[in-house]
Structure 1
Amino acid sequence: MAREAWGRWGAEDEAGAPNLAGPAEVLRAASLVRTGRVVPLAQTLHAAMPVPGHRAGMSHFMGRDGGDYAAGAKRPGGFQFAEDTVVLPLHSGTHVDALCHAWCDDLMYNGFPGSAVRSTTGAQRLGVEKLPPLVTRGILLDLAQDGPLADGTPVGRAMLEAAAARAGVVPEPGDAVLLRTGWLEAQEGRPRRLISFDAEPGLDEEGAVWLAGAGVALVGADNYAIEVLPFPPGQVFPVHQRLLRDHGIPLLEGMQLKPLAEAGATAFLFVAAALPIKGATGSPLTPVAVL
Structure 2
Amino acid sequence: MDTPRWKQRPEGSNWGDFGPDDQIGRMNLLTPQTRLRAFREVQEGRAFCLSLPLDYPGGNTLFQHRREPQFSYDKRGDGHNYNYRLSQVCPCFNDVVSDDAVLMFLQYSTQWDGLGHVGQMFDANGDGLPEKVYYNGYRGGLEVIGPDDAKSGLGAKAIGIERMATAGVQGRGVMVDLERRYGRERALVGYDELMAALEGVTVLPGDFLCLYTGFADLVLEMNKQPDGDVLARSCAVLDGRDERLLQWITDSGIVAICADNFAVEAYPATPGKGEHYPGLPLHAHCLFKLGLHLGELWYFAELAEWLREHGRSTFLLTAPPLRLPGAVGSPVTPVATV
> Shared fold (TM-score greater than 0.5)?
yes
Whether contact under 8 Å (1:143, 1:149) holds in the other structure is: no
Extract unaligned runs of 5+ from structure 1.
none
| Residue-by-residue CA offset, 1:108-133 (whole Å, 9 max, x unaligned) | 11122222211232011111011112
Call closer, same or farther: CA 1:193–1:244 in 2, change over 3 Å. Answer: same
Q: For 2:114 and 2:198, how far apart are their aligned partners in 1?
A: 26
Q: Give the conservation status (yes or no) of the 8 Å contact 1:198–1:230.
A: no
Shift of 1:195: 3.2
* Total equivalences in the alignment: 286
Change (3 A) 1:198 1:111: farther
**Higher alpha-carbon deviation: 84-93 or 110-119:** 110-119
Q: What residue ranges of structure 2 are gaps of 5+ in the alignment? A: 1-9, 75-80, 122-131, 147-151, 273-277
- % identical aligned pairs: 30
* Matching residue of 2:119: 103
1:1-291 counterparts in 2 under 5 A?
1-46=10-55, 49-51=58-60, 52-63=63-74, 64-66=81-83, 68-69=84-85, 73=88, 76-105=92-121, 106-115=132-141, 116-119=143-146, 120=152, 121-131=154-164, 132-146=167-181, 148-151=183-186, 153-165=187-199, 168-190=200-222, 192=225, 194-195=227-228, 201-205=236-240, 206=242, 207-234=245-272, 235-264=278-307, 265-291=312-338
Please list the CA deviations of residues 76-112 of structure 1 after superposition, one character each: whole Å capped at 9, or x if unmatched: 4211111100111011111101111101012211122
Residue 47 of structure 1 and its aligned partner are, at CA, apart by 7.5
8 Å contact 1:199–1:229 — kept in the other structure?
Answer: no
Q: Which has the larger radius of gyration?
A: 2
Deviates most, 260-269 or 214-223: 260-269
**TM score, norm. by length of structure 2:** 0.79
CA contact (8 A) 2:269 2:280 kept: yes
Counterpart-to-counterpart distance in 2, 1:198 and 1:128: 29
Whether the 8 Å CA contact 2:268–2:279 is kept in 1: the answer is: no
Give the CA deviation at 1:169.
1.6
Aligned-residue CA RMSD in angstroms?
2.2
Give the superposition deviation at 1:2.
2.4
Cα distance in structure 2, aligned partners of 1:122 and 1:139: 33
Q: Residues 189 and 237 of structure 2 are in contact (CA less than 8 Å); yes or no, is this contact kept in structure 1? A: yes
Cα shift readout 1:222-244 (whole Å, capped 9, x = no counterpart):
00111112211245011100000
User: Could you tell me how far apart the structure 2 residues matched to 1:181 and 1:276 are?
Assistant: 29
